Copies of this chain bind each other. A is one copy, B any other.
Amino acid sequence: MPTLYGVSLGPGNPKLLTLRAVEVLREAPKVFVPSSKGISRAEAIVSYFTKKRRIIRLDFPMVKDEAIVAKALQRNASRVCSILQRYGSCAYAALGDLSLYSTFWRLYPYVKEKMHDLDIEVIPGVPSFCACAASAKIPLALGDDIITIIPLSASRERIENLARYADTSILLKIKPSIIRSLKLVGKEYQQAVLAMHCSTDNEQVRVANIKELEELSKYFALMIVKRRKFL
């Protein structure tokens, strides 16, 4: 049965791959990596563990037009299928953990449709926000704390309601309207962490006061706000 391995590469540091991820990358005849322009961080990590000629870039256009996206996914699925037909197996590797907002699960249905007997193995990985908490040296949650994970686009009503009932909110991308929503509901928030490129040489982490958020949010990618301050 043709097997597609989904490999989670973790937050960006090659030492934060799992042993199983390394094993699969070393054994796979070909490894696909998502790419929009030039060598992505995913490709840079994969090249630690396999030969360059085994790596194949797949173009994922960063546009909202669903027709363009679907066309790219079709094309990518065809390339994956031709490799699977030739070698019996291959890997698809992407940053973070594949279960969280990954291109892998956008691509998978298109490959499955072309290849009904396809089998997959997914290797879970370290999500970016876990690396961020580790770098900031704080826990995300303790005891009965409830966490919400919010991607870039969500309505103000949803964010306000979620933030009202959660102890920790993890914002995977930051935009001004999210910061304003949090300020409206966030009088009880006591601690914020802003971060970029966690676990890599370019890591930037700042434990901030909730009042500094709007100014600081321009410079960071990921934000964690907590109702209770840790230490």
Contact = CB atoms under 8 A, between A and B. Distances in A.
B19 A140 contact: no
Given A134-B123, A166-B162, A144 B139 contact: no
A154 B144 contact: yes
A149 to B, nearest CB: 4
Given A16-B18, A99-B140, A143-B151, 20 more contacts: A8-B130, A14-B19, A15-B19, A16-B123, A17-B19, A18-B126, A19-B19, A97-B126, A99-B138, A100-B141, A101-B143, A105-B139, A122-B135, A123-B134, A124-B134, A125-B130, A146-B149, A148-B149, A161-B161, A162-B165
Interface of A: 6, 8, 10-11, 13-20, 22-23, 97-102, 104-106, 109, 112, 120, 122-127, 129-131, 133-135, 137-154, 158, 161-162, 164-166, 199, 230-231
13 contacts: A6-B134, A10-B18, A16-B18, A16-B123, A19-B19, A102-B139, A122-B137, A124-B130, A124-B133, A143-B151, A146-B150, A146-B151, A146-B154
